[in-house]
A and B are shown apart, each in its own frame.
Chain A
Amino acid sequence: MSGPEEGRDPQSVGRFDVPQQVPAPDAEPARRNGHRPAAQAAPTPTAPPVSSAPPTPTPTPTPARTPAGEVDAALPGGTEPVVSDRPGDHWDRKVANGLAFLRRRLSGDYEVDEFGFDAELTDAVFHPLLRLLYRDWFRTEVSGVQHVPVDGPALVVGNHSGTVALDALILSAALHDKHPAHRYLRLLGADLVFRMPVVSELARKTGGTVACNPDAERLLGGGDLVGVFPEGFKGIGKLYADRYKLQRFGRGGFVSAALRTGTPIVPVAIVGGEEIYPMLADIKPLARLLKLPYFPVTPTFPLLGPLGMVPLPSKWLIEFCPPIPTAHLTDSADDPLVVFNLADQVRETIQQTLHTLLERRPDPFGP
């Protein structure tokens, strides 16, 4: 990031030094799009440094000719009274921030963790998109966020539904927004997700990784919040008639990962996902041909083609349940009895919570 800084220095020093002695209250009109405290000291057209600046159609001193990265740094300063009455400034800042973001992306100036998680991209692109979806389209209500620890690891276990695994993405975005510590949920996905081009790339960039014990334990060991849906394809690929009936929880691999790291398990019940793509039938031969776990037929897909991809606007409720501690069971990670019992306990908790939530929501497409 040395480039822009260096490019600016010689000019800005001159620009910001001189006006210290130029109080010039009549300089006000020239400060229309000032961004920073220095704007108060922005030179009037009479100030020498500006006249030497590249010719502009107006005498506006363009104090924002600084790298955009600095714009937000200068914001908390006392600029408010000067800037607030100019509605354009908000957009100026947005444009400047957007350009700075674009430049950082294009020059590779960002960090990616060992799982491929790109926090900057997630914050700037994926979460805003998901926010539109969960807040405005699904009217999601989240409760029990206090059960998710503020720091340290936790394993969030949820029910899976909805033909495509949209519920996992909604859960991660909603949790990040509603949680006081704005924690990222690191999702564990089936290997099919990582087989598909583009999808695999997006999954890794948003913090996902392959559902396997080494990855789960590594994330939990690093103090991360891990999200897992033990039903897998059995959950999302079930028919609409079976909605909100939890499927089998597999071998309970998620429990042994939690036990081995002594991580609390936070069950979460998600209501609303089942109605977004109600799956009426499953064309098995076609699924086998395409090497997919199922091929869905919904009221709109494949009848309406791409239009059938638009999720129905169901009402969503997400409730986090009290955590189940596992620290005292660290030695029993290989004991199938303990693992199955704990998996059953988690499953029962989610199923019970689903029933209570469904009572609270009599109309799936209500307000």
Chain B
Amino acid sequence: MTPGGTSGAPGVVVVTGVGRYLGAHVAARLAADPRIERVIGVDAPDSGTEFTDLLDRVERIRVDSGSLGGLLADLDVDAVVHLALVTSPDPQHGGRSAMKDQNVIGSMQMLAACQRAPRLRKLVVRSSTAAYGVSFRDPAVFTEETEPREVPRGGFGRDILDLEGYVRGFRRRRSDVTATVLRFAPFIGSTADTTLTRYFSQPFVPTVFGRDPRLQFLHFDDALEVLHRSIVEDHPGTYNVAGPGVLSLSQAIRRAGRVAVPVLEPGLSGAAALARTMGFGRYGLDQVDLFVHGRVVDTSRLEQEYGFTPRSTAEAFEDFIRAHHGGVVVTRDQLAAAEQLVLDGIRQVRSAVRERSS
């Protein structure tokens, strides 16, 4: 195995956000690992029951984040995986204010609880490459040391900056805990259901006029692998987690066989703001900014420290396309056929002309 070995595997692991897709899969995967004795899934009291069959080996506790402190101390927790983040406001569940409650207040309470847990040795926090903010003066490729130049306009980006600030404070106060911050690129994969996968599943995809952002994706299975390794091995620090390589948005849309509909940027921002206030759609300024600026990160630190390279952005996207071929407008075969048709047409006309003249 990679450096760290199995010696770092903790006995009792708490996973937050098991009511959501990522949390449920991580908890199930950790529960299947024989080195880990107990996996406890923590979730908000009002969370759904979508993933109960996945979580049959996970002890589930429904508790609101305020009373988490006593719980972590009582359970003799060794490690905490904090995944309870909301990436986009969900109008059915309180919109942006509920999102901020969960991302910022929830994380603060989580970290406060961790600080008081005496046996805690390890903390793994899900962050996002949105932590780099967006600016026109940004370098093309972000390394973990790059500081954000401007505070992002989107809610999620701001939440992530706050969250990382709290984790820095936690590191200072509990230097004995191995804290790992994973900055994930947007997830994609055959089964994942995220804002971006919904975006690329539409037949006609809105883009920003005159911009062709560079995007990176992370295959969902690779995200699970990295989270798993972060728990059973020791990798203190902050890591970019993304599929190597780059797809430009126009290229991704073409590969998926969709049709891009360029929209002027002020119009798109306005539409995003309108959609948010009217309470429909999940696109926000986070997405608009991503589609103006793009975001590419350097993953060499992850590859060195974890000894693991996620599958490339192009492969991850290919996997997504295979699973979502439903809304395809133009396929490659159709394009190839059209090419043949034109070539044949030209030849036929020319030979006909030649026949007549000879």
The interface of chain A, by Cβ under 8 A from chain B, is 3-4, 7, 32-33, 56-58, 60, 62, 64-65, 67-68, 88, 92, 95-96, 99-100, 102-103, 105-110, 112-116, 118, 191, 194-201, 204-205, 209-210, 212, 214-215, 218
Contacts and interface: CB of A to CB of B under 8 A. Distances in A.
B140 A68 contact: no
Given A100-B339, A110-B251, A112-B248, A210 B330 contact: no
Nearest 6 CB-CB pairings of A with B: A197-B210, A108-B254, A108-B255, A198-B210, A214-B139, A4-B336
B139 A65 contact: no
A205 to B, nearest CB: 7
The number of chain B residues touching the other chain, given as a range, is: 35 or more
B343 A107 contact: no
A67 B339 contact: yes
Nearest to B314: A111
Given A7-B336, A65-B343, A191-B136, A214 B146 contact: yes
B97 interface: no
Given A57-B348, A114-B214, A96 B140 contact: no
B140 A103 contact: no
A215 B140 contact: yes
Contacts of B139: 209-210, 212, 214-215, 218
A330 B348 CA distance: 65
Contacts of A56: 348, 351
B214 A116 contact: yes
Given A113-B246, A114-B296, A108 B141 contact: no
A88 B350 contact: yes
B323 interface: no
Nearest to A6: B333
Contacts of B138: 210
Contact of A3 (B211, B214, B253, B332): B332
B246 A114 contact: yes
A204 B212 contact: yes
A95 B337 contact: no
A62 B345 CA distance: 11
B76 interface: no
A360 to B, nearest CB: 38
Given A57-B352, A112-B248, A210 B210 contact: no
Interface string B327-358: 00011110111111011101110111011000
Contacts of B246: 112-114, 116
Nearest to B294: A116
13 contacts: A4-B336, A4-B340, A65-B347, A67-B340, A103-B335, A107-B254, A108-B253, A116-B246, A116-B294, A191-B136, A196-B210, A201-B212, A209-B139
Given A62-B344, A68-B343, A103-B336, A116 B212 contact: yes
Contacts of A209: 139-140
A107 B255 contact: yes
B144 interface: no
Contact of B354 (A4, A32, A198): A32
A195 to B, nearest CB: 5
B101 interface: no
Nearest to B265: A197
Contacts of A106: 254, 330, 335
Contacts of A114: 140-141, 214, 245-246, 296
B332 A107 contact: yes
Given A108-B247, A191-B136, 6 more contacts: A56-B351, A58-B354, A102-B339, A107-B254, A114-B245, A218-B140
B212 A205 contact: yes
A215 B146 CA distance: 12
A103 B247 contact: no
A142 B346 CA distance: 41
A253 to B, nearest CB: 13
A7 B337 contact: yes
B137 A191 contact: yes
Interface centre among A57, A58, A108 (most CB of B within 10 A): A108
Contact of A95 (B252, B346, B348, B352): B346
Contacts of A218: 139-141
A62 B333 CA distance: 21
